[in-house]
Amino acid sequence: MMTREKILKDLQEKFKSDIIDVFDKSPKRVYIGIRPESLRKVAEYVVGILNARFNIATGLDARRHIEILYHFTLEDINLLVSFRVKLDRTSPKADSLTDILEGANWIEREIHEMLGVDFRGHPDLRKLLLSDDWPEGVCPLKADYKEWDKKAIRDRGI
């Protein structure tokens, strides 16, 4: 069984041109920044060769760009690796991982409706959580989201 150091060293050597930075925070947490184009390559390696489990993807609006963090768990060595992908804020696009991992289907739909990220190659990019009467293009998790509903009541009336 491979040790933590060997796995991280192999990862950095194999994807030398794709990795931007590595933040080794603690024995159980590592954050690796990668280029958006290399996302599928890295995901295939991590899931296929390292047998990692896909936990979830977190999308966040970092004012100047939009970030997506893909969290993978390597249970045998108790390590959680998060791959950070930075996307352009005006028109964020990323590759879909649904054909490698069926578990990525729903979270990509959620990030699409919450942050407006377009996932190329996703089989069915429709709304997941927001209601049918929610206007198109309004993304609640973006930093510049404003209340659009004129009929909303936000005080208790006391």
C-alpha–C-alpha distance, residues 50 and 44, integer Å: 9
- 6-14, 35-43, 88-96, 127-135 -> range binding another protein (CB under 8 A): 127-135
Q: Is 99 a residue that touches another protein (CB under 8 A)?
A: no
Instruction: Give the nearer residue to another protein in terms of CB position, either 16 or 153.
Output: 153
Which of 2, 28, 91, 93: binder of another protein (CB under 8 A)? 28
Does 53 contact another protein by CB under 8 A?
yes
Contact 139, 145 (CB under 8 A): yes
Q: Report the distance separating Cα 13 and Cα 11, nearest Å.
A: 5
Tokens read off for 2? 């491979």
Task: Check binding of 40 to another protein (CB under 8 A).
Answer: no
The radius of gyration of the chain from alpha carbons, rounded to an integer in Å, stands at 18
**CB burial class (10 A; 0-12, 13-18, 19+) of residue 64?**
exposed
In the complex, the residues that contact another protein under the rule CB under 8 A are 25-26, 28-29, 31, 53-56, 58, 60, 69, 71, 73, 75, 78, 80, 82, 101-103, 105-107, 127-134, 140-141, 145, 147, 149, 151-156
